[in-house]
Structure 1
Amino acid sequence: MTQRTDDTPATHRLIESRDDLLSVFSGGEKPAERWRIGTEHEKFVYRVEDHRAPSYAEPGGIRDLLDGLTEFGWAPVIEGENAIALSGPDGTISLEPAGQFELSGAALENLHQTCAEANRHLGQCKTIGERLGLGFLGLGMWPDKARSDLPVMPKGRYKIMLNYMPKVGTLGLDMMLRTCTIQVNLDYSSEADMAKKFRVGLALQPVATALFANSPLTEGKPNGYRSFRSHIWEDTDPDRTGMLPFVFEDGFGYERYLDYALDVPMYFVYRDGKYIDVAGESFRSFLEGKLPQLAGEKPRLSDFVDHLSTIFPEVRLKSFLEMRGADGGRWGKICGLPALWVGLLYDSQALDAAWDLVKDWTIEERSQVRHAVPKTALKTPLPRGGTVHDLARQVLQIASDGLSRRARLNSAGDNESGFLDPLHEVVATGVTPADRLLDKFHNEWNGDVSRIYEEFSF
């Protein structure tokens, strides 16, 4: 989840008009030469000696991990009396609710830089982790932990969300405490460009879910899904999740997304270093100065930016687009996810070709695939024939061609298309990460889920 670190004077100004709200979206517009890649990836932290999830304050726990990383130039971000994040040239390191460790990477020019950044971060984590007796697991969901096994990090927004989630869905606490993801944040040049990328990203998000499916175990047993993490989002909070059918309607743009965002119930307002619980209240009421908890006070632009970070559709718009459909995974997948979407969305020919694959689907057909893919992944049938596996093969070829045309070369003269190799292997074999995990669980491991720590750690 987004870590709140933007505290510039510009975000403190009061919202005076609808145009101020729309400026968050339009302000993200950039010419193609300034488009960047921001990759986010989460991993589970565990104690090597007993595979327990460490708490924040225990010796050798999450606080000590954050403190140890400062020797690499990271600076603490403080909330109350606690360091709850780090900032540095490689972006921001933040904590998910149960201590899942996230790098929200810097805005970079190419995928070679993205993978170098991920490699630096993982190397730093391993260095400090070995000193503290901590390991890091690259999966989409804790394979063996119940909710009651997990600590909660001392972040004000999480206390509010943990209280609210059970009121609106049955799996929201699992989303917060037991899952990890890989995401990529990408730019757009105009409102029309944003709309086209949003539609392609949303329509093809089930392909990413299938290719990265990596959460087939819950509390030590198969859960019947390839991506249980993706299934969890279907019963987290219907007000702020889903496939957003309106994105595919004629005339979709900033105005329509703004109306959607304003109708999503709030979680909190941040004031004087503290989070005020306003869960379930309306941002529209806040705009009118009628928020019960802050009577007479009107929102700042930073309040709206915070609110946007509490909306969780499959693709999210802020001042950039976030692709949100993939399970967490190891190094190759951390590089593969941004490679997939950069190849599809940052080359105009690829973007057109990708849209041609799915532009005629109905809302019902899109929803059908989205609902089925967490369980059946690549084997999911498509409404008009074929399977997600067939679609993934086409999508990967389009992405590879897009990356080749981008021609961002490293010192050896290689373009970025090689970062798709782990995904080409999935398509070539028809075997997802979840399938490999289940095969090991049933055969080589003979049902012993603890073996996962030996073979699936970073």
Structure 2
Amino acid sequence: MSTRDTSNAVDPVIESREQLIAPMAGGAKAPEDWRIGTEHEKLVYKAADHHAPSYDEQGGIRDILLAMQQFGWQPVEEGGQVIAMRGADGTVSLEPAGQLELSGAPLENLHQTCAETGRHLQQVKEIGSRFGVGFLGLGMWPDKTREQLPIMPKGRYAIMLRHMPRVGTLGLDMMLRTCTIQVNLDYGSEADMVKKFRTGLALQPLATALFANSPFTEGRPNGFLSYRSHIWSDTDPHRTGMLPFVFEDGFGYERYVDYMLDVPMYFVYRDGRYIDAAGLSFRDFLDGRLSALPGERPRESDWIDHLSTAFPEVRLKSFLEMRGADGGPWNRICALPAFWVGLLYDQSALDAAWDLVRDWTMEERETLRNTVPRLGLAAPIPGGRTLQDLAGEVLAIARSGLQARARLNAGGDNETGYLEPLNQIVESGKVPAQLLLDQYHGEWQEDVTQVYRYSF
């Protein structure tokens, strides 16, 4: 989630609809300026007993963050507490229960992305060895109840934790117990954004299946392959889902603005603190009728903040965020941006990918999204096939897109090698969660704590 550390007192007040459209319209870039931003979260645990460390215990989350100064990272504070570290590789921040996230820098190619990921993991592993801490690449805590997890001292999280139970039954699980990988990608124009948004939404269930990695809850199989994905189905219907309007004629920046104006607010950031505005209307805020700040109208940074509080399967800000994947190990962190860059950053690949899914009805898209968390690649798709049948075709398109990009490393290799973990999944027909379940019922003898052997 976003990290703020400055006041918005000097921001322009929003006085026109053009200011609401501006972040999205301003995101359009020439293809040579398109970048790749990869974000990944991991679970943090103490090696001695597997408990999730609190913020301020010895060797806890604060100590881990501050220890990153040895690698050149600089602290970001909120209310006197360190909540993130900033450096050349982006921002390392804490999620609500202490999950550690790298929001990577915008990079030109996947070789740089994977090198960035490797540097980050090496750094946290070195710090972790000093504090007796390990890091786990899963989509969800395999053995922790909500009550066993700490809460981090970040203002927006306190507001969200209060609000989540009002709008869904699983929102607290989303905040406290899950981890994801996502990739942020650019577009060249409004029309290009629309096509990428539609293709990304339609194929997001495939990404969810390929990266499904959360089959355990509180020490037992939960009946899902991606329980993390299922959690989003009952988190908050106002700000999640497949966004049917994206596939309607006339969709563009204006329509997304209307959607975001109808997403209830969480907060307003003023003078270094978060003011609770959960459930209130941004439209009222525009009219100076927000009860949390009577008579005040929003500033441009308030709108930027608000754009970060919707959680659909694909999210638009000044770039597109692909949000469907569970957390996982190093090679799958590199594979997710490879999957989406291959599909969306080459025009022929984008056209081919959209052609595969353009005729699906909205009902068929919703059905697929709802069945994938349980069935993975076995989920049925239109035409009497399964998602596994489609997966091979999509990966072939992604591979062709990466080949066409022809971004080579020092050894002369292009970017297609980063798809190999996904090729293996499709060839085997087993997603990561199914492999974990095989081990759970086999060599682990139904002891889920054996998963800690597979930490980073």
TM-score strictly above 0.5? yes
2:131 is the alignment partner of 1:124? no
Residues 207-246 of structure 1: matches in 2 within 5 Å? Answer: 207-246=206-245
Quick check: 1:457 aligned with 2:455? yes
1:200 aligned counterpart, secondary structure: helix
User: How far off is 1:7 after superposition?
Assistant: 6.3
Q: Structure 2 vs 1, CA of residues 6 and 353 (structure 1 numbering), >3 Å: closer, same or farther?
A: farther
2:94 touches 2:100 (CA, 8 Å); kept in 1?
yes
Kept in 1: contact 2:109–2:407 (CA 8 A): yes
> Residue 289 of structure 1 aligns to which amino acid in structure 2?
G
1:368 is aligned to 367
Aligned partners of 1:329 and 1:202: how far apart in 2? 21
Secondary structure at the residue paired with 1:352? helix
> Secondary structure of the residue that 2:381 maps to in structure 1?
coil
1:413 aligns with 2:433: no
Counterpart secondary structure, 1:78: strand
1:310 lines up with 2:309 in the alignment: yes
Q: Is the 8 A contact 2:7 2:269 kept in 1?
A: no
Per the TM alignment, residue 152 of structure 1 is displaced from its structure 2 partner at its CA by 0.3
Q: CA deviation at 1:4?
A: 2.4
What is the rounded CA distance, in whole Å, between the counterparts of 1:72 and 1:402 in structure 2? 35
Q: What are the residue-to-residue correspondences of 1:149-160 with 2, within 5 Å?
A: 149-160=148-159
Aligned equivalents of 1:275, 1:61: Cα separation in 2: 24
Amino acid at match of 2:41: E
Alpha-carbon distance in 1 for matches of 2:267, 2:68: 30
Amino acid at match of 2:455: S
Structure 2 counterpart of 1:74, which letter?
A: W
The residue type equivalent to 1:363 in the other structure is M
- Give the aligned partner of residue 86 of structure 1: 85
Q: Is the partner of 1:252 in helix, strand or coil? A: coil
**Residue 2 of structure 1 aligns to which amino acid in structure 2?**
S
Following superposition of structure 1 onto structure 2, how do residues 441-456 of structure 1 map, counting pairs within 5 Å? 441-454=440-453, 456=454
* 1:424 matches 2:423: yes
1:128-177 Cα deviation digits (max 9, x unpaired) = 11000100000000000000000000000000000000000000000000
- 1:253 maps to 252
Alignment partners' CA distance in 1, 2:230 and 2:254: 30
Residue number in structure 1 paired with 2:71: 72
Residues 143 and 384 (structure 1), Cα distance of their counterparts in 2 relative to 1, 3 Å cut: same
**What's the CA shift for 1:61?**
0.3
Deviation at residue 2 of structure 1 after TM alignment: 2.0
1:347 is aligned to 346
* SS of residue in 1 equivalent to 2:238: coil
Once residues 254 and 6 of structure 1 are traced to their aligned partners in structure 2, the CA distance between those partners, rounded to angstroms, is 27
Match of 1:274 in 2: 273
CA change 1:439–1:369 in 2 (3 A) is same
Aligned: 1:382 with 2:367: no
Q: How many residues were matched structurally?
A: 456
Q: Give the equivalent residue in structure 2 for 1:172.
A: 171
Q: CA deviation at 1:14?
A: 1.0
Per the TM alignment, residue 3 of structure 1 is displaced from its structure 2 partner at its CA by 1.9
* Equivalent position amino acid for 1:212 in 2: F
Question: Per-residue CA shift, 1:286-321, capped at 9, x if unaligned?
Answer: 001100111111101100000010100000000000
Q: Identify the residue that residue 17 of structure 2 maps to in structure 1.
A: 18
Against the structure 1 CA distance between its residues 195 and 6, is the aligned structure 2 distance closer, same or farther, given a 3 Å change threshold?
A: farther
Distance in 1 between residues matched to 2:310 and 2:433, nearest whole Å: 27
Q: What fraction of aligned residue pairs are identical, expressed as a percent?
A: 68
What whole-Å deviation, never above 9, does each CA across 1:262-305 have from its counterpart, x for those lacking one? 00000000000000001000000000110011111110110000
Which amino acid in the other structure matches residue 457 of structure 1?
S
Please identify, of 340-349 and 383-392, the stretch whose mean Cα deviation from structure 2 is larger.
383-392
2:382 aligns to what SS in structure 1? coil
| Paired AA for residue 436 in structure 1 | L
**1:192-237 deviation line (CA, Å, top 9, x unaligned):** 0000000000000000000000000000000000000000000000
What amino acid maps onto 2:99 in structure 1?
Q
> What secondary structure, in the 3-state scheme, does the structure 1 residue paired with 2:380 have?
coil
Question: Aligned partners of 2:189, 2:2: CA distance in 1, in Å?
Answer: 24
- 1:40 corresponds to: 39
Partner letter of residue 4 of structure 1? Answer: R
Distance in 2 (alpha carbons) for counterparts of 1:363 and 1:118? 36
Deviation at 1:383, TM superposition (A): 2.7
Match for residue 290 of structure 1? 289
**Which whole-Å CA distance do the structure 1 matches of 2:122 and 2:242 have between them?**
36
Amino acid at match of 1:155: K
Displacement, 1:384?
2.0
1:311-330 matches, within 5 Å, as 311-330=310-329
After TM superposition, the structure 1 = structure 2 runs for residues 193-212 of structure 1, keeping only pairs within 5 Å, are 193-212=192-211
Measure, in 2, the Cα distance between the counterparts of 1:457 and 1:5.
32
Distance in 1 (CA, whole Å) between partners of 2:8 and 2:146 is 37
TM superposition shift of 1:21: 0.7
Shift of 1:8: 7.9
Seen in structure 2, the aligned counterparts of structure 1 residues 268 and 8 have a Cα distance that, compared at 3 Å, is: closer
2:306 counterpart letter in structure 1: H
User: How far off is 1:16 after superposition?
Assistant: 1.2
Unaligned residue ranges in structure 2 (runs of 5+):
none
CA–CA separation in structure 2 for the residues paired with 1:141 and 1:400: 29
For residues 442 and 11 of structure 2, the distance between their equivalents in structure 1, rounded to whole angstroms, comes to 57
Q: Which amino acid aligns with 1:3?
A: T
Matched position secondary structure for 1:292: coil
